């Protein structure tokens, strides 16, 4: 019986994890509520979490929205593409890591442009367009 090489299995496992992370990220961002508990807000006892992915989704969505604003939707797009490519065997982990570096650069540049062009985030309504990273890039560069 032929067994798959260990490297191929590891790549497929990372691909499946990327697809699972895609689902979590999409659910978290889609059901984002600014009043959910997170790095920036606290719920007193008796409050409930409005995010469909629960407390983990609330924290994840807040981190992404506060970090890069509307460009947070780029992360699930990358994850689904990388996940499918890794599962199908069309890309190696090193190539996926290089693509992640490219996405990071795009998020920084795009966040800076959003911060310059908008007074508030066009999708999430938070006061800082492009998130904190976009504000940093726009103000420093």
Measured between alpha carbons, how far is 92 from 54 in angstroms, rounded to an integer?
33
Higher-pLDDT residue of 97, 74 = 74
**pLDDT tens per residue across span 45-85:** 556 888 999 999 999 999 999 999 999 998 899 889 888 98
Tokens 């560069």, residue located: 141
Q: Which helix (H) or strand (E) holds 70?
A: none
Measured between alpha carbons, how far is 6 from 63 in angstroms, rounded to an integer?
34
Tokens 């947070």, residue located: 72
Determine the pLDDT at residue 62: 92
**pLDDT tens per residue across span 107-134:** 889 989 999 998 888 888 888 888 888 9
Q: Is the confidence at residue 2, as pLDDT, over 70? A: no
pTM: 0.82
């Amino acid at each position: 019986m032929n067994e798959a090489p260990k490297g191929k299995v590891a790549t497929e496992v990372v691909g499946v994890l990327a697809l699972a992370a895609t689902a979590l990220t999409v659910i978290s961002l889609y059901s984002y509520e600014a009043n959910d508990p997170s790095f920036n807000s606290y719920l007193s006892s008796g409050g409930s979490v409005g995010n469909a992915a629960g407390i983990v989704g609330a924290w994840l969505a807040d981190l992404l929205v506060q970090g890069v604003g509307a460009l947070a939707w780029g992360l699930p797009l990358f994850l689904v593409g990388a996940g499918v490519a890794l599962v199908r065997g069309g890309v190696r982990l090193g190539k996926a890591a290089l693509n992640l570096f490219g996405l990071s650069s795009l998020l920084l540049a795009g966040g800076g442009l959003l911060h310059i062009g908008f007074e508030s985030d066009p999708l999430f309504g938070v006061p800082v367009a492009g998130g904190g990273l976009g504000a940093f890039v726009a103000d420093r560069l």
